[in-house]
Amino acid sequence: MTALSKKSSGVDSMIIIGKNALDIGGTVYAHFDSSELISGFGVSSSNNYQFTLDHTLNKSFILLGGTSVDATSGIVDLKYRWYDETNSQFIGSTALLRSSNTSGSYGKLNPPYRQDAVAVILSSDFGGSNITLSLRVVSTGSGTPRYNWEPNGFEAHSGIPSLTILKT
First to last CA, the chain: 24
The backbone region for 24, taken as left when phi is positive above 0, alpha when psi lies in -120 to 50, beta otherwise, is: beta
Would you say the pTM of this structure is higher than 0.85? no
Mean per-residue pLDDT for 5-32? 78
What's the pLDDT score for residue 101? Answer: 67
Q: What is the percentage of the chain residues whose pLDDT exceeds 70?
A: 77
- Cβ-contact 151, 159 below 8 angstroms: no
Domain CATH code at residue 10: 2.60.120.40
Residue 52 has pLDDT above 80, yes or no: yes
**Sequence-ordered list of residues with C-beta below 8 angstroms from that of 96, at least 6 positions apart, any chain:** 77, 78, 79, 115
Look at the chain and report how many structural domains it folds into. 1
Residue 122's domain comprises 4-167
83: phi then psi, degrees, rounded to nearest 5 = -125, 125
* CA pseudo-torsion sign 150, 153, 158, 162: positive
Query: What does the DSSP assignment read for 55-105?
Result: GGG---EEEEEE---EEEESEEEEEEEEEETTTTEEEEEEEEEEEE-SSSS
- Mean pLDDT check: name the lowest of 22-31, 59-68, 129-138, 157-166: 157-166
